[in-house]
Structure 1
Amino acid sequence: MNNDRVNASIITIGDELLIGQTIDTNSAWMGQELNKLGVWVKRRVAVGDVWEEIWNALDEESRQSEIILITGGLGPTADDITKPLLSKYFGGKMVVNKEARENVITIFERYIKRPMLAVNLKQAEVPDVCEVIQNKRGTAPGMWFEKNGKIFVSMPGVPNEMKGMMKDYILPRLPARFSLPAVIHRTLLTAGIGESYLADRIKDFETALPHYVKLAYLPNFGMVRLRLTATSKNVAEITQEVDRLFATLQDLVQDVMVINEDKTLEEAVGILLSKHKKTVATAESCTGGYVGHLITSIPGSSAYFMGGVVSYDNAIKENVLGVKAATLDTDGAVSEETVREMANGIKKLMKTDYAVSISGIMGPGGGSEEKPVGTVWIAVAGITETVARKFHTRYNRMRNIEITAIYALNMLRESILKDNN
């Protein structure tokens, strides 16, 4: 084990995780938060609701790490075996925690408003050898154990409840227990260039990086995030060095850089619209409102997003958005002419500065030789002009929708920059 590094292991418990019924988002979130503190997540382990497997995972991960974080298996049903197992593992017995019991009763009386079953009160039972972490967002308390200098923390598998415990109780305690280094990240987002082409462009920069600074490529749906990371006890010195390198990196990718922060494309678009006090509306066919969903997922988006129309049927394109019947008859719904008229129509209808329109064939059926599955037209009506582009996606339906939304948001971003620079 690296004595200069504090390691953590994450154990997620539940058969539903192993069969894919539930996606484990907890580990990713915990890893990000621990990394910010300077704790290295060495291993992530998923086990089913099986006594021996959970027990063995605790043994193995305590050999690997100083911190073992456990989620899941704290419910009131028979398959939730984590609490009795932890009680036996740490040599305790189950007792009722008064504060946890009052919390369960309060939640049922105030929010659930249904008769409470005896099994629900079992949520308040905890091993008498743990430090109880009260659950401000649910009924199952968390538990903090220590053994042989190692910290074990058991939390509910419900993401919102786990995050509350981590933020309020667990993360703030770790710096006092361990000597943690500073971890410095600098991240930027690019679009319109593939990972391999980006790597080729900055290969000399990457080769010249000092050994204590790492460059990561994080590709996703037509974008690549570049992240510089350095770890050091000397915060001021390493921050200055990383900032200098980050400035050089930005110069190398300036033409494809979306934003020089760790933000999403929809956040970057929102920042631009807010900065220039502009508004936008959407007219979506094949994406079914997904672009509007991404825009409105950002807090404060009501200041710049006026609304959208999901014009799946041609009658809506014609009667609501003002697309000419002749355009639909001659060029079809998936065409440059149609998306131009859709964008101009929704811009006029919503009285906005910008408008985005999309029409295409997401699949798996509906394509033709002339317009195969994956054919997409996108238009952005800006202040000075309306721009339309044709794209070809090649994935399954959902991924085609997601990447089309990215293309649309990036076109909107480019239009805002052109109009306001």
Structure 2
Amino acid sequence: MFVEIFMGIVSLDEIKPGMTLATDMRTNQGRLLLQAGSKIQAEHLKIARIWGITQADITDDSAPTGPENPIERLDPELKKVLDALTDWKFACCDRESPFYRKLAFLFQKRIASTLTRKNSRKVVEKYRGPKILGDVKQSRGDESQKPHLEKLVDKEVSLVTLPDVFHEIVEVTGNPKSSSTDISNVLAKDQSLSSRILRLVNSPFYGLMSKVDTLSRAVTIVGTVEITNLAMGISITSTFNDVSSELVNMHDFWEHSLSVGVVAKILATQNKMPVQERLFVGGLLHDIGRLVLLKNYSRISGKMLAFATSRPVNLYDLETKYFGFSHSELGGRLLEQWKVPQALANMVKSHHSRSSIDDSGETILIRLADIISHGLGYGHSGARRVPPLDYNEWKNAGLSITALPVVAAQTENNLRDLMRIIVEDQAHAI
């Protein structure tokens, strides 16, 4: 039985309509959502997820006896397929840790709901990937020599053409005399960008109580720094669309990146951190350095991807061993050259680091979000296995294992709309 109950506290993922609250349901800010004694309805659960609530106190007589579990409905052969896929995906992890046990269960639960004999082969290929032979064409760099980090950054900065509005955003945010009106006016010059920002802040992911109709109101409600961070992040996503599909499907790449941003923002909400939008953008951009490596060193990258598929090794470690630096260091330096706020660049640069010097609370949440996204199976950036984690990092972040099912549910609820707003609309605009 996977139900998490302790003295009436039940994970939100396991609560069903009709159950009764034993104590008031309140947001992290103390706002009352539902009084004790109320019968919970489906709409209450939806609102609770929007506000980042992960659990509730349920009366004993209405506590669940066991959730509907799609894994238990699988026939023995399909269960073997699912178990083998899970073992492969989590091969780099300590499967005895409570964190990974729960994450592996949530992965299986998500996959089992649509797994059939007819589609099982395609499902396995989706999460393990096709065979990569390491003979990928279209390399943009000289692969006979190892790259130099700063030279590669300089090359990318000189070749990549960011939207004009990005440079104007950097300029206006660097001017201490700039007002919210100045920022709104800059954003309004790019109709596609301004439209996506408005749709984003009006989405359930933000959970605002009233509709935001104008950019100036969005800047006022969400904040100037937060809106400009969002605008920078969305603008950068439009510059990387020419990586070989033999290495990574760009839809899968941005699904992974966006889900990391979503999970990071959810974790920040649960941890009552005030920098939730910055974490969302940090997650969105955390793997852009890998796109640069895939584009400029596609043959070597193809061999690394093949090696990481055939053996339980971390792609990050292979990069560091061969190149002398990782995609995270490369991405962080690139953002610094583009004059993105240093806090964002630091999150990207250090999200794989194990150094306590580099580990801010924000960086740790990006790393946790990356692991959770991989574990739930949302896209990929080339690496398809779940990265390792010291369980103490999860505990030291002040997070509960009971939060994982709600994080998974909130991510599932929001990701499709956000993909449509940030990635798919952008593709149509190109």
Whether TM-score is above 0.5 comes out as no
Say which structure is richer in strand: 1
Give the TM-score taking structure 1 as reference length.
0.22
Say which structure is richer in helix: 2
Give the TM-score taking structure 2 as reference length.
0.21
* Greater Rg by CA: 1
Bigger relative contact order, structure 1 or 2, given CA contacts below 8 A and separation 6+?
2
